[in-house]
């Protein structure tokens, strides 16, 4: 039935039931649902209090173990002692130089791993013979403990930065490659046919269709690759001590040599916090992607 209209003095008739104010069309299906997220302060508190509760539980359990006298205080110091020493560590300028060195190594190795993993993953997913040849090898490399590579790395590159970079890259690149391969495998065949109809070929097909469609799995691969590279780097800094490079791992090793348990735990906390902060960045990227695709909300 035709919609009843009401004449207006300044323009053409408009629907009386307010239908013109409604969002219509297929474009509305792409929009994520609107939800009342509350004020900024409430959102920050909602995301923060579970983490604070977890920290409080860990500290409480730690203190209870110390009170139980399971180990002497000089072997397992309490939270008060460790946090006091941690404050001293954070005010030491040399400590931040070590953090800068460690992060520089981590980001450099991870960037190389992303570059190599992306190229290998795209090549393996595109050429079936190559996938049959090295597909399982990539998974095998991903499951290989990174510490197994250090004897070979030292033989190849001696005690140097290159030895550490070698292990970081070979530990992270397979995860990045597998993430991209998995994402490409799950690109809907319909999308590929549409791209073919539109004339997409070669690099353009990957740039405008396949890579954007595989982004969720690719980001998961990047996140896993970062975890492998970070673990490999920490092992490398403990095993391959480059002269004059006082990284976090070297400082932790020095604290262990002096049997300073409190300082060792301080550096463990520093490494843990850095890992959590980087993980939060990956989660922000993942949430932004999900929001862009309309996968958030109820």
Local confidence pLDDT in tens for the 298 residues of the chain: 444 444 444 444 444 444 444 444 434 444 445 445 557 778 777 777 888 888 899 999 999 999 998 989 889 999 999 999 999 888 887 889 989 999 999 999 999 999 999 899 888 887 878 888 887 888 888 888 888 899 999 999 988 889 999 999 998 999 999 888 888 888 777 877 877 777 777 777 777 787 778 888 888 888 989 999 999 999 888 888 888 788 898 999 889 989 899 999 999 999 999 988 888 888 888 788 777 766 665 4
Please tell me the distance from the alpha carbon of residue 49 to that of residue 54, in angstroms, as a whole number.
9
What pLDDT is attached to residue 173?
92
User: How many residues are present in the chain?
Assistant: 298
What pLDDT is attached to residue 218?
85
Please tell me the number of Cα atoms within 13 Å of 285 on its side-chain side.
14
Domain range summary for the chain, segments of one domain joined by +: 72-292
Instruction: With beta carbons less than 8 A apart as the criterion, state whether 95 and 251 touch.
Output: yes
Please tell me the distance from the alpha carbon of residue 201 to that of residue 214, in angstroms, as a whole number.
17
**Those residues with Cβ within 8 angstroms of residue 169's Cβ, 6 or more apart along the chain or in another chain:** 109, 112, 113, 116, 229
Q: For tokens 């609107």, name the residue.
A: 34
**Fold observed for domain 72-292:** MetI-like fold (1.10.3720)
Please tell me the distance from the alpha carbon of residue 109 to that of residue 236, in angstroms, as a whole number.
12
Specify the 3-state DSSP secondary structure of 90.
helix
Write the DSSP string, 53-80: HHHHHHHHHHHHHHHTTSS-TTTS--HH
Give the sign of the dihedral formed by CA 165, CA 170, CA 171, CA 174: positive
End-to-end Cα spacing for the chain? 34
Distance of CA 67 to the CA centre of its chain: 37
Q: What is the CA radius of gyration of the chain?
A: 27
What pLDDT is attached to residue 32?
47
Instruction: With beta carbons less than 8 A apart as the criterion, state whether 151 and 129 touch.
Output: no
pTM of the predicted structure, to 2 decimals: 0.76
């Amino acid at each position: 039935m035709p919609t009843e209209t009401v004449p207006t003095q300044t323009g053409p008739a408009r629907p009386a039931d307010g239908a013109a104010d409604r969002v219509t069309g297929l474009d509305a299906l792409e929009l994520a649902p609107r939800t009342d997220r509350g004020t900024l302060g409430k959102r920050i508190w909602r995301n923060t209090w579970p983490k604070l509760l977890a920290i409080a539980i860990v500290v409480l359990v730690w203190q209870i173990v110390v009170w139980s006298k399971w180990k002497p205080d000089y072997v397992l110091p309490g939270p008060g002692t460790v946090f006091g020493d941690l404050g001293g560590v954070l005010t030491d300028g040399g400590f931040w130089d070590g953090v800068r060195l460690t992060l520089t190594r981590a980001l450099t190795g991870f960037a190389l791993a992303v570059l190599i993993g992306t190229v290998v993953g795209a090549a393996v997913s595109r050429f079936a013979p190559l996938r049959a040849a090295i597909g399982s090898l990539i998974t095998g490399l991903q499951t290989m403990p990174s510490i197994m590579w250090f004897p070979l790395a030292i033989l190849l590159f001696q005690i140097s930065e290159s030895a550490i970079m070698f292990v970081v890259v070979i530990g992270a690149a397979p995860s990045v490659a597998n993430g991209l391969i998995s994402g490409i495998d799950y690109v809907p065949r319909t999308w590929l046919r549409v791209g073919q109809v539109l004339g997409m070929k070669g690099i353009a097909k990957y740039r405008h269709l396949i890579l954007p469609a595989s982004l969720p799995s690719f980001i998961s691969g990047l996140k896993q690759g970062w975890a492998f590279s970070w673990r490999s780097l920490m092992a490398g800094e403990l095993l391959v001590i480059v002269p004059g490079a006082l990284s976090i791992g070297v400082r932790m090793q020095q604290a262990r040599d002096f049997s300073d348990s409190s300082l060792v735990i301080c550096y463990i906390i520093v490494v843990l916090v850095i890992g959590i902060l980087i993980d939060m960045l990956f989660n922000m990227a993942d949430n932004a992607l999900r929001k862009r695709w309309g996968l958030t909300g109820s």
